[in-house]
């Protein structure tokens, strides 16, 4: 009897210990507490889809050093790729039709010939590169024309979604919910989209477009719903009704979050669908601090910034991206909702941003707010020779929401501001030419404090949503630089390097940066309408989500800084002439700035956005029709 009591007692203790162990694993797995906090200056390789090779560079006093830097090769390949892209664009209507059929295995939509004339008459260079439209609309072929029309109309009744209606050849933005007693104001995004249709609305049938009023993507349809779509349409109650009968609220308000909705879009069995996979093993994080790993991560460069990073396969990375903590509820049903950008996994239909299309003092290069006219050169533009060599960024402390709260410290903008203002003695690995102007490259370990002082000018100009930051306003101010002296768009043109970062969603300043005479470094997880039209390393410099390579980007184009030379501790490198910029590097940087400006003025024009939307409308109209076969164009 006594032995049985001991056995029972031991069994109970084992059960308690087992439960405690599981509880600890749950908390480590991020189910409740999320990923462990890392020091602010911890080298973070999150979201770094590396593609360039790790070169065997040596310390300044070691030989042999590398003889080839990867950036010139990236630039040369980018120029060649873009030249080929332009050369293969269709020159005739017949070629455009043939290319369309080759790519998509069906005839172009009705009205394609009129679109072709519009594109030709307006010198549109991109004739064939509209894969993004087909990609965005392809899921909606699962719906019948009647279902598509119903959902397009009903989507306008969802919170933070407006309607653009085409009737009798005229486009109008309206709030479809006003008939429900809600006199909400029509968003600027809906009004902007309606204005994009004006030049060709008379060529369109009557249509309804649902336009997302928010910057964040909205459409996250669970994998099970998409894979069983036919069954859903035929034998299940239409999920649209569930969305409109009160089950859908405008924001999360503690009832779930974007990440939980997002992970349901991933394939069953993928890491994001597994319980513990959102936490990366401690041993991996520890290994990342090794000298080899730190050097490698700081000297790897993105070949593209296509926004195809897989959060389903790398779920731990979602902690570093603010859009997973948005307050606005996502939509779990296949509605045709138009948005200015989307991250991988979202099913929104991309359209040009109203910030790009409109003309305002805050978002448009060269805009004269007094005379209300667009100038060829912004009145605050600075000659290249007088621009600062510092990396410049200013913006608000946005980047995400507070659902759930407590993760704002890892949002993309917060991480960048802390990194660029790190005052610690943590070393950064900087590769530079020895001697300057040569192709003999070495590296030195440079204290972050000195390096940031020399090349970084990064700060928040406005503190918002501080309540979602751990510790509140005072904690945010202690760990981030805030420059409240006031910066307008024109102040950016004083610098050679302009950084473009995601905010609550995509960055609305990208086109204005591109049109300036400065070089743009862009870091994003979003895909936009122009993603197939632009070439990284030719028109802009792609920047990873960890930002670590930015120091070596600067070192290549602008040469070693004084702190870098002192860290090398080499007499031959500390002469005044050695501190001069690499002539070749500066020339290459200016080439990127000029190419970006040329791209904006030839491919990123307002009429190019209209051509994109025009073609989108033709594809949309085919989906709208009951007889889609009749809505095709043949020569």
pLDDT tens, position by position, 59-85: 555 545 566 899 999 999 999 999 999
622: left (phi over 0), alpha (psi -120 to 50) or beta: alpha
Q: Do residues 487 and 460 make contact, with C-beta atoms less than 8 angstroms apart?
A: no
Distance of CA 91 to the CA centre of its chain: 32
Say what the alpha-carbon torsion angle 523, 525, 527, 533 is, to the nearest 10 degrees: 30
Count of alpha carbons within 13 angstroms of residue 543, beta-carbon side: 25
Q: Choose the weakest-confidence range: 9-13, 471-475, 619-623.
A: 9-13
pLDDT 10s digits, 190-233 = 999 999 999 999 999 999 999 999 999 999 999 998 875 544 44
The answer to whether the peptide bond before residue 269 is cis (omega within 30 degrees of 0) is no
- C-alpha distances in angstroms, 529 versus 4, 222, 616? 71, 24, 10
**Looking at residue 185, what is its pLDDT?**
84
Q: Choose the weakest-confidence range: 154-163, 298-307, 418-427, 488-497.
A: 298-307
**3-state SS class at 187:** coil
DSSP for 489-545? Answer: GGGGGGEEEEEEE--SSS-TTHHHHHHSSSEEEEE-S-B-TTTTT--BTTTBEE--S
Give strand pairing partners of 498: 392, 520
**Looking at residue 10, what is its pLDDT?**
40
Read off the pLDDT band of 21 (50, 70, 90).
very low
Read off the pLDDT band of 302 (50, 70, 90).
confident
Q: What is the mean pLDDT of residues 436-451?
A: 88
Helix H segments across 305-398? Answer: 354-357
> Residue 553 pLDDT more than 70?
yes
> What is the distance between the alpha carbons of residues 142 and 130, in angstroms, rounded to a whole number?
21
Q: What is the mean pLDDT of residues 378-402?
A: 95
Q: How buried is 626 (Cβ within 10 angstroms: 0-12 exposed, 13-18 middle, 19+ buried)? A: exposed
**Looking at residue 465, what is its pLDDT?**
86
Read off the pLDDT band of 485 (50, 70, 90).
confident
pLDDT cut 70: percent of the chain above it = 79
pLDDT 10s digits, 130-154 = 999 999 999 999 999 999 999 999 9
> What is the distance between the alpha carbons of residues 291 and 288, in angstroms, rounded to a whole number?
8
Q: Do residues 393 and 501 make contact, with C-beta atoms less than 8 angstroms apart?
A: yes
- Average pLDDT value over all residues in the chain: 84
pLDDT 10s digits, 86-136 = 999 999 999 999 999 999 999 999 999 999 999 999 999 999 999 999 999
Q: Which domains does the chain have, with CATH numbers?
A: 58-69+374-604 (3.40.50)
Short-list 580, 397, 357, CA closest to 479: 397
Query: Which stretch of DSSP H or E encloses residue 607?
Result: helix 606-624
The residues, ordered by sequence, that sit 6+ positions from 587 with a Cβ below 8 Å of its Cβ are: none
């Amino acid at each position: 009897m006594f032995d049985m009591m001991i056995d029972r007692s031991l069994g109970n203790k084992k059960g308690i210990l087992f439960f405690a162990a599981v509880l600890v694993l749950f908390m480590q797995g991020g189910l409740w507490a999320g990923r462990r906090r890392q020091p602010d200056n911890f080298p973070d390789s999150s979201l770094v889809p590396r593609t360039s090779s790790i070169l065997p560079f040596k310390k300044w006093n070691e030989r042999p050093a590398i003889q080839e830097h990867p950036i010139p090769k990236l630039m040369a390949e980018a120029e060649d790729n873009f030249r080929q892209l332009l050369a293969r664009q269709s020159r005739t209507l017949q070629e455009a039709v043939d290319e369309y059929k080759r790519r998509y295995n069906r005839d172009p939509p009705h009205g394609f010939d009129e679109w072709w004339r519009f594109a030709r008459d307006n010198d549109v260079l991109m004739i064939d590169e509209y894969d993004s439209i087909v990609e965005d609309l392809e899921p909606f072929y699962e719906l019948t024309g009647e279902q598509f029309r119903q959902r397009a109309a009903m989507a306008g009744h969802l919170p933070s979604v407006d309607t653009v209606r085409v009737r009798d050849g005229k486009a109008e933005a309206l709030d479809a919910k006003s008939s429900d007693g809600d006199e909400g104001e029509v968003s600027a995004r809906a009004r902007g989209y309606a204005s994009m249709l004006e030049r060709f609305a008379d060529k369109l049938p009557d249509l309804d477009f649902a336009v997302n009023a928010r910057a964040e993507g909205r459409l996250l349809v669970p994998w099970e719903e998409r894979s069983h779509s036919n069954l859903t349409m035929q034998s299940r109650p239409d999920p649209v009704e569930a969305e409109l009968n009160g089950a859908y609220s405008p924001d999360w308000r503690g009832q779930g979050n974007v990440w939980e909705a997002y992970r349901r879009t991933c394939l069953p069995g993928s890491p994001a669908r597994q319980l513990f996979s959102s936490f990366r093993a401690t041993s991996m994080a520890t290994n990342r601090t090794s000298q080899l790993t730190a050097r490698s991560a700081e000297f790897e460069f993105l070949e593209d910034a296509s926004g195809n990073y897989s959060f389903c396969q790398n779920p731990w990375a979602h902690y570093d991206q603010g859009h997973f903590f948005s307050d606005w509820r996502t939509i779990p049903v296949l509605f045709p909702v138009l948005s200015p950008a989307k991250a991988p996994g979202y099913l929104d239909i991309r359209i040009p941003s109203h910030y790009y299309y409109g003309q305002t003092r805050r978002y448009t290069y060269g805009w004269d707010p007094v005379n209300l006219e667009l100038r060829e050169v912004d009145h605050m533009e600075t000659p290249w020779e007088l621009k600062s060599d510092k990396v410049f960024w200013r913006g608000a402390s946005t980047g995400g929401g507070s659902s759930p709260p407590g993760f704002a410290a890892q949002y993309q903008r917060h991480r960048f501001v802390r990194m660029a203002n790190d005052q610690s003695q943590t070393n950064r690995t900087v590769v530079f030419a020895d001697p300057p102007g040569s192709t003999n490259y070495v590296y030195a370990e440079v204290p972050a404090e000195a390096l940031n002082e020399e090349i970084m000018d990064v700060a928040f100009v406005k503190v918002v949503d501080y309540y979602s930051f751990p510790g509140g306003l005072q904690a945010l101010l202690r760990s981030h630089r805030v420059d409240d002296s006031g910066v307008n768009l024109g102040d950016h043109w004083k610098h050679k390097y302009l950084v473009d970062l995601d905010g609550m969603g995509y960055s609305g300043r990208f086109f204005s940066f591109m049109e300036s005479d400065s070089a743009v470094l862009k870091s994003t997880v979003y895909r936009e309408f122009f993603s197939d039209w632009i070439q990284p390393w030719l028109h802009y410099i792609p920047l990873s989500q960890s930002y670590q390579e930015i120091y070596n980007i600067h070192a290549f184009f602008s040469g070693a800084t004084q702190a870098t030379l002192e860290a090398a501790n080499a007499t031959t490198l500390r002469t005044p002439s050695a501190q001069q910029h690499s002539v070749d590097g500066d020339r290459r940087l200016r080439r990127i700035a000029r190419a970006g400006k040329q791209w904006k003025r030839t491919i990123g024009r307002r009429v190019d956005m209209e051509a994109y939307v025009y073609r989108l409308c033709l594809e949309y109209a085919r989906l709208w029709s009951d007889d889609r076969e009749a809505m095709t164009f043949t020569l």
